[in-house]
Amino acid sequence: MTKRTVLITGATDGLGKMLAQDLAEENFRLLLHGRNATKLSALQKELQQNHPNLEMTTYLGDFADLQNVRDMASRFLQNEARLDILINNAGIGAGGPQSKRQLSNDHYELRFAVNYLSPFLLTQLLLPLMKSTAVTNNNVRIVNVASVGQRRLDFSDLMLEKNYSGVNAYSQSKLAMIMSGFELAKELESTGITLNSLHPATLMPTKMTLEAFGYGMASIRQGVEATKYVALSHHLNSKTGLYLDGKTISRANAQAYDTTARQKLYQRSMELVNVVPLA
């Protein structure tokens, strides 16, 4: 039987790392992304020592640079024959209380670029492989790790030049992920690919949470279990276009249900990442 292949972005820290450790104990082929070569190598070594029979490949990529994402996707498509589950987990937090507005390599607001535009681009580039995988596995899944922290998008100031704060930037990027996820889920209906977004847990004590707030609340384990539920549970077979708070189907910010706003964001995103829609 062919092993299901799972790609976890942001696998070297926090939720992504614990998720990789969990899935290494199950019958998956793991594809692990990170932006730090040293951390990625250390994770690979750890998992191989603990699971000698694990099938695993690592992919280095900096989500602050869209060309880096394109290059990573190109390597991925050259190497991989299938992709059953894509977990878009990589991201950066709100930063400390005094954090200043930063730009990505493409001159986009950094959190919007890393948390939203790069996973959006990666998903678009990997869709053909996921569609071909769905021919033999009619249960291919895309999981967007979003947040309950969501801020309404102002299309006249997506890059937050006028009203910047780290919390605003982070919250906007996570709502954008949910909104475009809803829109793509509609496009993928009847393809065998589902796409759902979740808030894994509130203030897990990850590096990004501790930097922004100085404390944690829910455990990382709680977030991992929720993410695994969305990625693997048979209860969500064929269910798509959902937003979950943990394991519970919930409601996102009201703007996520504004069809015009979703379509506007999707089109704007395609332009920002310079992708031509598939025919």
Query: By mean pLDDT, which of 67-71, 175-179, 197-201, 213-217 is the weakest?
Result: 213-217
Exposed/middle/buried for residue 81 (C-beta within 10 Å: 0-12, 13-18, 19+): exposed
User: Rounded mean pLDDT of the chain?
Assistant: 93
**pLDDT at residue number 202:** 76
Predicted confidence (pLDDT) at residue 36 exceeds the cutoff of 80: yes
d(CA 63, CA 105): 9
Lowest-confidence pick of 130-139, 199-208, 264-273: 199-208
Q: What's domain 4-273's architecture? A: 3-Layer(aba) Sandwich (3.40)
- The tens digit of pLDDT for each residue in 94-147 reads 887 778 999 999 999 999 999 999 999 999 999 999 999 999 998 999 999 999
- What percentage of the chain reaches a pLDDT higher than 70? 92
Write down the pLDDT at residue 279: 42
CA atoms within 13 A on the CB side of 170: 21
In the beta sheet, which residues pair with residue 144?
Answer: 88, 197
Position 253 scores a pLDDT of 98
The dihedral region occupied by 46, where left means phi > 0, alpha psi between -120 and 50, and beta the remainder, is alpha
- Distance (Å, rounded) from C-alpha 266 to C-alpha 272? 10
Q: Name the pTM for this structure.
A: 0.94
Return the closest-CA partner of residue 149 out of 242, 10, 253, 219.
253
Concatenating the DSSP letter of every residue in 72-88 gives: HHHHHHHH-S--SEEEE
Both tokens of 110, joined, read: 């950094």
What are the domain boundaries of the chain?
4-273
Segment among 125-129, 163-167, 176-180 with least mean pLDDT: 163-167
